[in-house]
Amino acid sequence: MSATGPPGDARPATAAGDVRVRGAGAAGDARPGGGVRVRVLGAVRRVVCLVALPALLVLLWWAVSGSSFYLPGPAAVGRAFAETWFSARLLDDVLPSVGRLLAGYALAALLGVGLGVPIGSSPRLRATLEPVLEFFRAVPPPVLVPLIMLLAGIDTPMKVLVIVSGCVWPILLNTVEGVRALDEVLADTCRMYGISGMSRLRWFVLRGASPQIMTGLRQALSIGIILMVISEMFASSSGLGFTIVLFQRQFQIAEMWSGILLLGLLGLGLSLLFRRLERWVLAWYHGSGAARA
Partner 1 sequence: MLEIHDLRKVYDGRGRHVEAIASVTLSVAAGELVCVVGPSGCGKTTLLRAVAGLLPVSGGEVAVDGRRVTGPPPGTAVVFQEYGRSLFPWMTVRQNVELPLKEKGLPAGRRRALVAGSLDAVGLADAADAHPWQLSGGMQQRVAIARAVAYEPKVLLMDEPFAAVDAQTRADLEDLILRLWRDLGMTVLFVTHDIDEAVYLGQRVVVLSASPTTVMEDLKIDLPAARDQLTTRSLPRFGELRGHVYRQIQRARAHHDDARGTP
Q: CB of residue 66 vs partner 1: minimum separation in angstroms?
A: 56
Q: CB of residue 126 vs partner 1: minimum separation in angstroms?
A: 19
SS (H, E, C) the chain: CHHHCCCCCCCCCCHHHHHHHHHHHHHCCCCCCHHHHHHHHHHHHHHHHHHHHHHHHHHHHHHHCCCCCCCCCHHHHHHHHHHHHCCHHHHHHHHHHHHHHHHHHHHHHHHHHHHHHHHHHCHHHHHHHHHHHHHHHHCCHHHHHHHHHHHHCCCHHHHHHHHHHHHHHHHHHHHHHHHHCCCHHHHHHHHHCCCCHHHHHHHHHHHHHHHHHHHHHHHHHHHHHHHHHHHHHCCCCCCHHHHHHHHHHCCCHHHHHHHHHHHHHHHHHHHHHHHHHHHHHCHHHHHHHHHHC
Closer by beta carbon to partner 1, 9 or else 183: 183
State the residues that interact with partner 1 by CB under 8 A.
183, 185-186, 188-189, 191-196, 199, 203-204, 207-208, 210, 284-285, 287-288, 291-292
Closer by beta carbon to partner 1, 46 or else 191: 191
Closer by beta carbon to partner 1, 91 or else 293: 293
Closer by beta carbon to partner 1, 32 or else 194: 194
Q: CB of residue 291 vs partner 1: minimum separation in angstroms?
A: 4
Q: CB of residue 288 vs partner 1: minimum separation in angstroms?
A: 4
Q: CB of residue 115 vs partner 1: minimum separation in angstroms?
A: 23
Closer by beta carbon to partner 1, 138 or else 291: 291
* Polymer length of the chain: 293
Q: CB of residue 211 vs partner 1: minimum separation in angstroms?
A: 10
Closer by beta carbon to partner 1, 87 or else 199: 199
